[in-house]
């Protein structure tokens, strides 16, 4: 049996608001020593540019640009593989490629619909379908408000299929005083779902 901690985590970044969550999550996963397989959709690169001022090539996103301000241990980037969003020959498109989990953060409404209806139009959709069919952990992080009935029904559908639907809804009880604190709250909850240790927030009941 493979040790789950030795298996990669797939991170997909799509075109919903919430790029800071994705970049912080990538940083924390690599800092925790995890292997990460990254896919960024073209709409994801557009949102990253809008929200973070980072210009990525949609056909060859450079993770060093995303992580330019992060303090990572030596060799962290060597644990990161980047796949083209249209590369359906990538390892993560197959169930025979073992992974620990997948996160779609942020998850756009279009991506949510494609996953809910098993429409494998790109590598993000296909990798998510793989995780559902293989009964592996899939966490989707939508960031939209208000929600339409079709979006709610899509969330219910992927929940029934086994995914964890985790809207990017930061809490304030941990004593948040900055935007970074709110980002860390959401990233901490994602890490909890993935079984990745962290000390990003004070947990409820802790002094």
pLDDT value, residue 133: 97
Is-contact 17 202, C-beta < 8 A? no
Question: Does residue 100 lie within any of the structural domains?
Answer: yes
Question: Does residue 79 lie within any of the structural domains?
Answer: yes
pLDDT value, residue 207: 63
Question: Does residue 207 lie within any of the structural domains?
Answer: no
Question: Does residue 78 lie within any of the structural domains?
Answer: yes
The CATH number given to whatever domain includes residue 57 is: 3.40.50.1950
DSSP character string of 113-158: HHHHTT---SHHHHHHHHHHHTT-EEEEEE--SS--HHHHHHHHHH
pLDDT value, residue 120: 85
Please list the ranges in the chain whose pLDDT falls under 70: 1-2, 207
Total count of domains within the chain:
1
Tens digit of pLDDT for each residue in 26-81? 999 999 999 999 999 999 999 999 999 999 999 999 998 999 877 888 889 999 99
Range of the domain at 181: 4-194
Question: Does residue 105 lie within any of the structural domains?
Answer: yes
């Amino acid at each position: 049996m493979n040790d789950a901690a030795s298996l990669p985590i797939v991170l997909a970044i799509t075109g919903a608001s919430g790029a800071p969550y994705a970049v912080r999550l990538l940083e924390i996963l690599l800092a925790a020593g995890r292997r990460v397989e990254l896919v960024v959709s073209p709409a994801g690169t557009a949102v990253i540019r809008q929200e973070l001022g980072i210009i990525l090539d949609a056909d060859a996103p450079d993770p060093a640009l995303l992580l330019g301000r992060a303090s990572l241990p030596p060799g962290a980037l060597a644990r990161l593989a980047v796949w083209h969003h249209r590369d359906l020959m990538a390892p993560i498109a197959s169930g025979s490629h073992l992974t620990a989990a997948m996160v779609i953060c942020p998850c756009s409404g279009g991506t949510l619909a494609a996953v809910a209806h098993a429409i494998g139009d790109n590598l993000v959709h296909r990798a998510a379908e793989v995780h559902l069919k293989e009964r592996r952990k899939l966490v989707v992080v939508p960031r939209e408000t208000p929600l339409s009935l079709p979006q709610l029904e899509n969330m219910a559908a992927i929940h029934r299929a086994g995914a964890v639907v985790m809207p990017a809804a930061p809490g304030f009880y941990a004593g948040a005083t900055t935007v970074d604190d709110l980002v860390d709250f959401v990233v901490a909850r994602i890490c909890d779902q993935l079984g990745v240790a962290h000390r990003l927030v004070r947990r409820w009941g802790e002094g």
